A and B are shown apart, each in its own frame.
Chain A
Amino acid sequence: MSPQTPFPRDIPLPLPAPEPLLIVLLVIAFLAHLLFVNLMLGGSLLTVFYEWRGLRKPAYDELAHEIAKTVTVNKSLAVVLGVAPLLLINVLYTIYFYTANSLTGLAWIMLIPTITLAFVLTYLHKYSWEAMRHHKRLHLGIGICASGLFLLIPFVFLANATLMLFPDRWFSIQGFLSALSVPSVLPRYFHFLLASLGVSGLALVGYFRREQYDFEAHLPGLNRQEILKQGYTLTLGASCLQFLAGPLVMVTLPSHGFSAAMLGSIGLGILAALPALWLIWKELQSPLPGKRFIQIGGLLSLTVLLMVSGRHLYRETALASHKHQMQIRTASYERQVQTAAAEAKAAEAAEASLPLPELGAKTFQQNCAGCHAAQTKLVGPPMTEMVKIYGSKPADFKAWVQSPGKKRPDYPQMPAFPQLSEKQLEGLAVYVLNSKH
């Protein structure tokens, strides 16, 4: 940790459940969210790609339309499944997460209108498919805009996720753009983008290999085997590129988060991916691809689970020491809070036993002096006027303080003081009404 590293105090309320349970929930919920984010982004890119190919070979236009219909469903699921990981991150990494949000604040809040706009464009793209059949390039333009926004959004999330890991870099951050320059952000972005493409390629195979899907009726002019191979090719290509992106992420991450468990988890993930890639290769050679889909999907799911776990283990190790320091400081501060609160309570008790005029003077200083002075008008009238009105009627005076009305048109109305005790009111009446100023 650098000397500039802040060690803020945590919120002194207990976690709502044992930490390991929350962590397991986080990993699972995050995985589900990520799956649909990948499908949404990859699906959007595939839609645009096939619609573009459809300009030359119209049969692809219908394929693009079919994929577009899945994107709007996946985007709804991506959002709703994102809420649970958000909640879990909030509760498990309160200090780290909110600090990262704040340091990238404008970009963070701009996510809301940006994602909304991306969704509106995605609906527009899908629902205007028939109506804009004769304005194909404009229609494709809408799709490209939506995809472009989908491509920008992950930068903000990744900047936040990365900042969370490095309290020792917080002092160097001035806004979202400078957060992008934290070394591992860009490699993580490419890692994520390739994952989206890989998942979407596989989803393409899964969607069109189904027996009950009447391929020829839906997509005349296209060949099922060829489309399946295109999906597999995308997954294979993207996964092979991960062998570049993955190490790039590893070398840009600071070393203090590495652990044997984390490396083991990542290593097992790679091991699970290798047979999957080999099976994809076999599928590409086969005249009837699609039979090995379940095995491939299973192996790659295992890879993703291990990778996400590895990512979590890195975060735990990277933050362990900082978290510990934070807990010690939180405990120490809370003890000081308790001691001071006890002292204040004792002082209050002592104050209650003061003689009435002194108690009244003190109460006046603490509650009234902001607006009332002895002889001059501040916000409200001076004490001399109070003596004139209430000099012989202390009960009326106390009633007024507890719940004042509006008497003078040229003065603002006085607020009520229900918090004053009977003793304080008594003292106040003695002090104010006996004042000879």
Chain B
Amino acid sequence: MEQGRATMLAPACSRLLAKFRLKPARNLECRSWASAAQAGLAHSKTWPRYKDVYKGRIMLQRLTRRVSGTTVSMWLIGLVILAVVAYGTYKTLALGKYSLANWTDLIIYGVAQGSVYALIALGYTLVYGILRMINFAHSEVFMSGPFIGYFVATSLDQAGFLDRQPVIGLAIVLLVAMLTSLTIAVLLERIAYRPLRRAPRLVPLITAIGASFFLQYTFRGLFGSGIKGYPEIEQLKGTWPLAGGVNILKTQVVVIVAAVIMLAGLYYFVQRTKTGKAMQAVSEDKDIAALMGIDVDHIIVVTFAVGGALAGAAGVLYVLLFRQVHFFMGFIPGIKAFTAAVLGGIGNVVGAMLGGLVLGIAESLFPNLVLDGLGIPAPYQLKDALAFILLVLILIFRPTGILGERLAAKKA
């Protein structure tokens, strides 16, 4: 009799599931419940009560599956930070100390700085996408390009070539910088990373840090520890007028335009070309890609080369803005670009671009926008802290970064 009841109850259970619009996979539990009933565990009188308990349990399960205690507290912290940010912004804007032109200026400064971050971040993200390792020596790849470019630039400047033919001169410096960074990135892969490809994950990470120190101090040993000032290009001095009485620095226009071209080029390369698709395949699964006839080692070298060349280009854009090189210059932009890559969703190319821009704008805009209203003196001292708070906020609300989900789905 008990058996009969159980067989009768199983479809009832299914009907219940249908009523609560639960997924069919839940039927599994119905069946196990039914089999439990078969074993005589379920009593006929428990059924009506069980219906309610079951309904409640399922709902609770659905909730707790998504929300744990930690998540709740993280959300609370996030909301508090968000509230403080909103309050600060409101107060600053209500004070009205800064004109619209001021704000536009700040955003443009941020975009220029952010596009440099984006270019460096791509190097981190490409390598992470393929090797699942953080190439901490990338900041030195970034430094080496403009450092060697400096010697070319000064000699071109002394010959007067840079002022007569600024476009060609700049192109030469850019080419030299990109080639230097590319070479160093490729050598780095060949010497420091390839022999350790099958080693545990921490090993290449530590090698990367070692390689970073090695490169820094090699440059210091070869070229000294002083700051070297880049020559200024006469044609790039001054500003161009923009709508609404805002003037934009010529160097910033060049930097933003060049960065956009390179970002678009890279996007095309990864999405459309055969090599780019092979890179995606290797990033998906190295072994299967090799089975499909892709030369994985070659693709990894290409990835390092592309990342290196972009870092070299980013370096030249960086010195166009700031006109200084020294052996330690890569460290801070490197850390920032790494943050940008995580911010955008590490491993995701578009995410790195977006992360770089968001970080650049946040650094330039937020101290004034948020902290000024809160009455904090000298807010630009806290620029870095604010950038990292932004990172924390984004990781709370979107643990995979801004565009990380697509990657997660793809990798899953």
A, B bound: no
